[in-house]
Amino acid sequence: MSGHSKWSTIKHKKGVIDAKRGKIFTKVAREIATASRIGGEDPNFNPRLRAAILAAKAVNMPADNIKRAIQKGAGGDKGDNYDEIIYEGYGPAQVAVIVECLSDNKNRTIASVRSIFNKAGGSLGTSNSVMYAFNKKGVIEVPKSALDEDKLTEFALEAGADDINNEEAEIFQVICDYTELQKVQGVLEEKGVEIESSGIGYLPQNWLVIKDLEQAKQVMRFLETLEDDDDVQRVHSNFDLSPEVAAQLGED
């Protein structure tokens, strides 16, 4: 199924979000403010803001924090404007990586991201050096506890989605053309479907399956270090694990 990676399943199990909640709040607030500045403060007419608010609620961000971030962005304070930057490159084991950033200092951000790549034995590439190997898609995550797969599939197909990924432990992923994300999300919401998150994702055309435990740990440390950087919002890769390695890591 589209978008499945055993690495993401392991991240859910290990509760990475809970362990880094303060940093996550900062990143989500930055995304909310940027979305509000670009598209307005009404989430009913701003799908990016609606997705950012969903992400905030998913990590239990207080309502007051969400409101302040929206107002901050809508106020248009130029001192808090962030540029959207995408970096591409290869990490350990030649894993292809796309890094989405929001930055108020491009020089700082690229220096930090390049350092993470270099220390892991990887390298930053030029534009489209790895992007060609990914499909840009809309990705909507729905808790499996919300409804059964048959009903979600019915709703998703009616909305114009391309695929349903059911291989994650706790969520379904509805995959659609990224230009149709707002429409598909709107139809699902009208059907009363609980949406945990939604947004644009980069899904690899082919997965790079790691079969060596130590190499897998090296790649995981690299991806986690990227995700932990203050300016990095999202990291996409073609990294996956063999069943044997996934089982060993799942037991750690």
Task: For residue 110, count CB atoms less than 10 angstroms from its CB and return exposed for 0-12, middle for 13-18, buried for 19 or more.
Answer: middle
Mean per-residue pLDDT over the chain, rounded: 88
Over residues 75-114, the pLDDT tens digits come to 865 556 789 999 999 999 999 999 999 999 999 999 999 9
Which CATH fold would you assign to the domain 83-132+207-251?
A: Alpha-Beta Plaits (3.30.70)
Q: Is 30's pLDDT higher than 70?
A: yes
Classify domain 6-80 at the CATH class level. mainly alpha
Structural tokens at position 141: 């995550």
Report whether 81 contacts 35 (CB < 8 A): no
Outline where DSSP puts E strands in the chain: 83-90, 96-103, 123-124, 134-143, 163-165, 171-177, 197-204, 208-210, 232-237, 239-241
The CATH code for residues 134-204 is 3.30.70.980
Q: Is 250's pLDDT higher than 80?
A: no
Over residues 40-64, the pLDDT tens digits come to 999 988 888 988 998 898 888 999 9
Same CATH fold assignment for domains 83-132+207-251 and 134-204? yes
Lowest mean pLDDT among 66-80, 101-115, 177-191: 66-80
Sequence ranges of the domains in the chain = 6-80, 83-132+207-251, 134-204
Q: By C-alpha distance, which of 223, 142, 209, 130 is closest to 175?
A: 142
pLDDT of residue 19: 47
pLDDT of residue 216: 94
